[in-house]
Structure 1
Amino acid sequence: MDVCYNKLFKLLIDKGLKKTELAKIAGFSQNTLAKLSKNETVSMDIIIKICRALDCTVDDILDILPVNEEVMCK
């Protein structure tokens, strides 16, 4: 796990949106949504779509975790 999308999910809660609503608004698939939920990497195109849909920056939706560090997402 190299990335953590907990910031994204907190932002969705703050905006009153469900994950499936984000997928529809941003225009990405359920498979991509599953990857996000598992903290797997997704393409930069997806990150851009999410940022545009939520009017935010990359820093607002994800953290990049240190290499070789067994840290759980906070």
Structure 2
Amino acid sequence: MILKFDYDGLWKLLIDKKMKKKDLTVKLGISPTTISKMVKGEPVSLTVLGKIATELESDIGEIVCLDNED
């Protein structure tokens, strides 16, 4: 079983805050490769998720969840 992650909460938060994915890479020093992984539903480190959650004033659970569609 391969775990897939759903970052739809993150994309919605970015829209609400009028931010783009590139804004995260610049503000937080996250690589474009990390953003690409998130777009593909791949795992990223908890450190990255923590930085994003802090920047967006949210909780990690609001930005990512497991995608259980199999």
TM-score by length of 2: 0.86
Match of 1:54 in 2: 56
Match of 1:37 in 2: 39
Gaps of 5+ in 2: none
Match of 1:22 in 2: 24
The one-letter code of the counterpart of 1:63 is C
CA shift at 1:2, angstroms? 2.2
> For the Cα contact (< 8 Å) 1:7–1:61, is it kept in 2?
yes
Supply the RMSD in Å over aligned alpha carbons: 1.2
Match of 1:8 in 2: 10
SS in 1 for 2:43: coil
The one-letter code of the counterpart of 1:58 is I
Percent identity of paired positions between Structure 1 and Structure 2? 35
Return the alpha-carbon distance in structure 2 between the equivalents of residues 24 and 39 of structure 1: 21
Q: Which runs of 4+ in 1 moved over 2 A?
A: none
